[in-house]
Amino acid sequence: MTNELTFNTNSQFQSVTFDKDADSWYFVFTGKIAFNVSAFWRLLNDKQIHLVSIDHGHQFGLPKPVDLTQLLTDSLTGKTLLEIKVKQNTADLLLTLTDNFELEIFISSTGYETYNFSVDKKIYIGMGSGEIAVFDDI
């Protein structure tokens, strides 16, 4: 069982990339805060679903496939990461940003690591079944 962890930050969004081969997302913020995510995530704005990871690359009858890398960059440029919360028991992540944006990252396996992030000179790994592993960042 994971205890809830909360980190207050003041880090600007820098970039997001998607690695198709690894099927993972990499979110970078100032202050050496970064998230590597191989799980389901969604971006909320004003508590409404704005973007969902599994939509990336799907066309949905649009003129071209959905490019979440561009849509995320457009949505998060100029935003500040205010808080990182690792939720108790599930270890799901909630990233709170300015302008009422939230990024939810969900543990999506009982056996595989779902995400890792670095903050405060430590690396946090979201393990299967909602556990967190913590290591010193080298």
Is the pLDDT reported for residue 65 higher than 60?
yes
Number of domains observed in the structure of the chain: 1
Task: Provide the domain limits for residue 107.
Answer: 5-136
Is the pLDDT reported for residue 62 higher than 90?
no
Which tens digits make up the pLDDT trace of 8-50? 999 999 999 999 988 899 999 999 999 999 989 999 999 999 9
Among candidate residues 104, 92, 95, the one with its CA nearest the CA of residue 130: 92
Residue at 73: amino acid letter: T
**Bigger pLDDT: 2 or 78?**
78
φ, ψ (nearest 5 deg) of residue 68: -65, -25
- Residue 74 DSSP symbol: H
Q: What is the pLDDT of residue 1?
A: 57
Which tens digits make up the pLDDT trace of 85-122? 999 999 999 999 999 999 999 998 888 889 999 998 99
Mean pLDDT, the chain, as a whole number? 91
Q: What is the pLDDT of residue 74?
A: 95
Q: What is the pLDDT of residue 57?
A: 66
Which tens digits make up the pLDDT trace of 113-127? 899 999 989 999 999
